[in-house]
Amino acid sequence: MTDLFAPKPTDNLLPYDGQVNDLGIVIDYPSPLFYNLVTELPWQADVVTLFGKTHVTTRQIVWMGDSDIDYQYSGHIRQTIPWTDTVFHVKHHVEQKLLALGIDVNFNSCLLNYYPSGDDGMGYHADDERELGAQPIIASLSLGATRKFIFKHKTIRQKNKPVKVELYLESGQLIVMHGDTQRFWKHSITKNKTAATGRISLTFRKIYPNNRS
């Protein structure tokens, strides 16, 4: 049955200070793609340093893209591996979907996160590193288990609580964050111990190496 209240791809999911669009399910066969990526990519644990303490996560990552597009966040540099045929094809497919919103972008990199179980999540953060530019366009494709994705405004509060926007991302679903989103909002993936399978996110972005400090 059609959900009469489902957002249109052109609807902004944020109330202000940014732009997030939900393009819905854009992958016809997400399960084979999920298992292809799980088994074929060189996953490695992520390493983050926060407040002087270094942590090795059970969440695993792959940083992929054009040559010489290394990426630094949380105190560590991620070395780029070349595009695989599969991920490059997905990149092109995502770019074509964004054209329908009037967003013309050629992504030169992709951060893939693998959450092996519902015990794995991602804390609040903004993708606001200098090399992403002032108003980064970040397209996030979800595969595998449905997980809750939360946006939290950095400063605005209502009834003494941060303003939040919550959505559940299904396998094959694509959202795009652009405009001032990274400047004013943080986002996270919450843990969910009832999740039966893992989840992969592919976050396509454009790195500007000359913007590095």
Q: How far apart are the first and last CA of the chain?
A: 51
For 98-150, the pLDDT digits (tens) are 999 999 999 999 999 999 998 888 889 999 999 999 999 999 999 999 999 99
Please choose, from the candidates 88, 80, 101, 65, the residue with its C-alpha nearest in 3D space to the C-alpha of residue 177.
101
For 168-184, the pLDDT digits (tens) are 999 999 999 999 999 99
What is the pLDDT, as a whole number, of residue 207?
A: 92
| pLDDT (mean) for 1-11 | 71
Residues 126/203, Cβ–Cβ less than 8 Å: no
Residue, of 213 and 45, whose pLDDT is higher: 45
For 151-210, the pLDDT digits (tens) are 999 999 998 899 999 999 999 999 999 999 999 999 999 998 888 789 999 999 999 987
Considering the chain, what percentage of its residues have pLDDT values greater than 90? 71
Listing DSSP states for 141-201 in one string gives: EEEES-EEEEEEEEEEEETTEEEEEEEEEPTTEEEEEETTHHHHEEEEE---TT--S-EEE
For 53-99, the pLDDT digits (tens) are 766 678 899 999 998 787 666 555 777 899 999 999 999 999 999 99
What is the pLDDT, as a whole number, of residue 68?
A: 77
Q: What is the domain partition of the chain in residue ranges?
A: 19-211
What is the pLDDT, as a whole number, of residue 196?
A: 78
* Sequence-ordered list of residues with C-beta below 8 angstroms from that of 188, at least 6 positions apart, any chain: 121, 122, 123, 124, 125, 149, 150, 152
Residue 34: pLDDT over 50: yes
Residue, of 70 and 13, whose pLDDT is higher: 13
What is the pLDDT, as a whole number, of residue 159?
A: 87
Residue 29: pLDDT over 60: yes
CATH architecture observed for domain 19-211 = Sandwich (2.60)
Residue 3: pLDDT over 70: no
Residue 1: pLDDT over 50: no
